[in-house]
Amino acid sequence: MNIWFYILKRILLMLPTLFGVIAITFAVIQFVPGGPVEQALIEMKGLNSGGEASGGGASQYRGRQGVDIDRVNEIKALYGFDKPPAERFWQMLKGFLTFDLGKSFYHHSDVWQLVKSKMPVSITIGLWTFFLTYLISVPLGIAKAVREGSRFDSLSSAVVLVGYSIPGFVLGVFLLVVFGGGSFLQWFPLRGLTSDDWATLSLFGKIKDYLWHITLPVLASVAGSFAVMTMLTKNTFLDEIRKQYVLTARAKGLSENKVLYKHVFRNALIPLVTGFPAAFIGAFFAGSLLIETLFSLDGLGLLSYESVIRRDYPVVMGTLYLFTLIGLVVKLLGDLCYVWADPRVQFESLAK
């Protein structure tokens, strides 16, 4: 099967998947109580939106009670709820085709511009998490596989598994308490990616200030993925080292380094390479909400959470559309990487 035909086929299969995710989420939203219209009416009456807006149909009725019907219709028109659901869904789909994700109800700005403004924070944490995970975990996993059963393997496994058992946000709290000016040391800042006077600093000062701020968030983010990647690398190399072709290469008199890096290394990296796109994208979003909230970082994770709580439907649907589209593209890239890493794999087998 030609590669371009395979890519075209996968893209055509993405469309119904993307449509289904958006349609199901849009349908669910129609039945969620305490929407933007109800919250606006409750705020007009001066009530506590936290206690009234989430109580279902009764709170919705009390929210509208005593408000002029013309005013209710104005608020519906403001948020676009004066139109039938089918018409609103169709307009949303047409906008998505041109990446017009709508306008936020609460931020009063385009969703696409809002996402782009929050993206640098998530990209910063994601890139550092991704590169540190691969640059440290892969060499460590290889070293553990080569020295299996040694004291180094046992001690490093204990450290890695302890780090894996501690959730990232718990580690983040610990780091803040110990090193962020809590009860012990004040070596690192509590919040933000840069200081208030960052623009006035020299180039070296900006780099130093930036690294100073991201140290604790990145450490908290790396903990879980670091352990998984290390053990995956070790087990993958062990599986390859025990195969017959390795024994044959050693019997031919090849040095251990040639056996390891010329034969084992290429085959063992296949699972790691195929997971490369997913790990790269996952580093931006996995666990970002808790880390961003803990360290007061205004990124995509915090934006998504706040949009759900506030019933900011354009942001909810817009970010869902982007994340789903990215996920489908990353899945395709993962399959292409698999073929690139192992030419024995054919596109016919991936298409099944």
Residue type, 1: M
Q: Could you read off the pLDDT of 28-43 as tens digits, one per residue?
A: 877 776 666 666 666 6
What integer pLDDT is reported at residue 169 of this predicted model? 74
Where is pLDDT greater, at 99 or 272?
99
The answer on pLDDT for 347 being more than 60 is no
Backbone angles phi, psi at 320, to 5 degrees: -60, -45
| Mean pLDDT taken over the chain | 75
Q: Could you read off the pLDDT of 153-210 as tens digits, one per residue?
A: 888 888 888 877 777 778 878 888 888 766 677 787 777 777 777 777 788 888 888 8
What integer pLDDT is reported at residue 295 of this predicted model? 79
What integer pLDDT is reported at residue 54 of this predicted model? 41
Helix H or strand E segment including 232: helix 203-241
**Residue 103: beta bridge partners?**
110
What integer pLDDT is reported at residue 39 of this predicted model? 66
The size of the chain, in residues, is 352
Q: Could you read off the pLDDT of 281-337 as tens digits, one per residue?
A: 665 655 566 777 777 777 777 787 788 877 888 888 888 888 888 878 877 877 777
| SS3 state of residue 307 | helix
Q: What's the pLDDT band for 49 if we cut at 50, 70, 90?
A: very low
Q: Does domain 111-351 have CATH number 3.40.190.10?
A: no
Q: What's the pLDDT band for 51 if we cut at 50, 70, 90?
A: very low
Lowest mean pLDDT among 46-55, 116-125, 131-140, 232-241: 46-55
Domain ranges of the chain: 22-97, 111-351
What's the rounded Cα separation, in Å, for the pair 285 and 279?
10
Q: Could you read off the pLDDT of 202-250 as tens digits, one per residue?
A: 888 888 888 888 888 888 878 767 777 888 888 888 887 777 877 787 7
SS3 for 108-163, per residue?
Answer: CCEHHHHHHHHHHHHHHHHHHHHHHHHHHHHHHHHHHHHCCCCHHHHHHHHHHHHH
Q: What's the pLDDT band for 63 if we cut at 50, 70, 90?
A: very low
| SS3 state of residue 45 | coil
